[in-house]
Amino acid sequence: MDSLILASASPRRHDLLSSLGLSFIIEANDGEERQDQVPPAIVEQLPAFDLGLASHPTLLAWRKAQAARDTNQQAVILAADTIVVIDRMILGKPRDPAHAYELLRRLAGRWHTVYTGVVVLPAASEQPLCELVAAHVHLAPLSDAEIWDYIATGEPMDKAGAYGVQGIGGRLVEEVQGSFTTVVGLPLPTTASLLSQAGIAIPYSVEQAWQRWRATLAKEPLCMQQSKC
């Protein structure tokens, strides 16, 4: 089997990919920060997204995968990028606790959309396999005290939208419509499909991987029971 590289430092993506029973190498990079021009052929392959090319999660994932390809010509490369959108505004990771409060206050009691772009580069190929998956999330109404108590845990500080649905932040989420693992940062069905297309044999089915991953959680968020993998 060709070697597999995960172009991400995210422990959440690591855990989800591991649940499929795969062996892989982690090689994080700053490819999403690059500003070099994107080849037209790549732009044509991107799934539809109406908030602009620069913020397209699948394009950002492609940039990460391409940065990894620069030093790994023979491996299959997997990359993903996740953004949170509300009122056509993209909410990134909080800069500081005050910014985390602003993000959570905007999301509290409302629906928002989480997009995860996934890209796989087959071995020795520059031709990407691309997908964009969306899930809709409803946060509970939150008091200022509840928001600050959550921020005090430190969990929001490295999460898009300032919450982690698979962790303590799952207590804030009332409902997820769509793929739960999209919200975590690596949609299992899409990932398994793209890796299979790239020639990677997947030891576990998506349903098996979903159950294996759920078993690693200290406590399941209630909203997980309403969601698909």
Q: Tell me, what's the pLDDT at 1?
A: 44
What is the domain partition of the chain in residue ranges? 4-226
Instruction: Note the Cα 150 to chain centre separation in Å.
Output: 21
User: What's the pLDDT at 26?
Assistant: 96
d(CA 180, CA 120): 20
Task: Say what percent of the chain tops pLDDT 90.
Answer: 86
Q: Looking at per-residue confidence, does 132 or 34 come out higher? A: 132
Q: Among candidates 51, 79, 82, 59, which has minimal Cα distance to 166?
A: 82
Kindly report, residue by residue over 107-143, the tens digit of the pLDDT. 999 999 999 999 999 998 889 999 999 999 999 999 9
Mean pLDDT of the chain: 94
| Rama region for 83: left / alpha / beta (φ>0; ψ in -120 to 50; rest) | beta
Confidence of residue 196 (pLDDT cuts 50, 70, 90): very high
d(CA 88, CA 93): 16
The pLDDT value recorded for residue 220 is 84
Q: Please name which of 157, 34, 19 lies closest in space to residue 99, comparing C-alpha atoms.
A: 157
Residue 162 has a pLDDT of 97
**DSSP states of 144-204 as a string?**
HHHHHHHHHTSGGGGSGGG--TTTGGGGGEEEEESBHHHHHT--HHHHHHHHHHTT---SS
Using a cut of 0.85, tell me whether the model's pTM lies above it: yes
- Helix (H/G/I), strand (E/B), else coil: 123: coil
Chain segment 54-94, per-residue pLDDT in tens:
999 999 999 999 999 988 889 999 999 999 999 999 998 99
Closest Cα to residue 65, out of 34, 92, 29, 13? 29
pLDDT at 35 over 90: no
**Mean pLDDT score, 160-183:** 95
Domain 4-226 bears CATH identifier 1.10.357.10: no
The percent of residues above 70 in pLDDT, for the chain, comes to 99
Residues carrying an active site annotation: 81
